[in-house]
Amino acid sequence: MPYITSVERRGLEKGLQQGLQQGKQENILQLLEIRFEDVAQELKQIIEKLDDIELLGKLFAQAATTQSLDEFESVVSQYVTDDESKEEEE
């Protein structure tokens, strides 16, 4: 097995993390399109900017269970607002 430097390992981990993030984003958008058909470009852009894997998992569950696209957008705006507030505190 070839030796992997710590820099290479970090790069590999970052790449895996980005792949997981992108997959979760795509799953959310695909689910929304299946359930509600037309998904606003603005909502797509918000989801594509999210990088918190745990949050994306929560949003996937919400996308599967909310009754309407408006309800899902409300949930997303709550998470995004909460997340922005935390960043401002730091």
Domain boundaries, the chain: 6-89
pTM of the predicted structure, to 2 decimals:
0.78
64 CB-near residues (< 8 Å, 6+ apart)? 31, 35
What pLDDT digit, counting tens, does each position of 31-47 carry? Answer: 999 999 989 999 999 99
Separation between Cα atoms, residue 10 and residue 75, nearest integer Å: 33
pLDDT given at position 31: 97
In 43-65, which positions are buried (b, 16+ CB within 10 angstroms) versus exposed (e)? Answer: beebbeebeeeebbeebbebbee
Confidence of residue 1 (pLDDT cuts 50, 70, 90): low
40 CB-near residues (< 8 Å, 6+ apart)? 73
What pLDDT digit, counting tens, does each position of 19-77 carry? Answer: 889 999 999 999 999 999 989 999 999 999 999 999 999 999 999 999 999 999 999 99
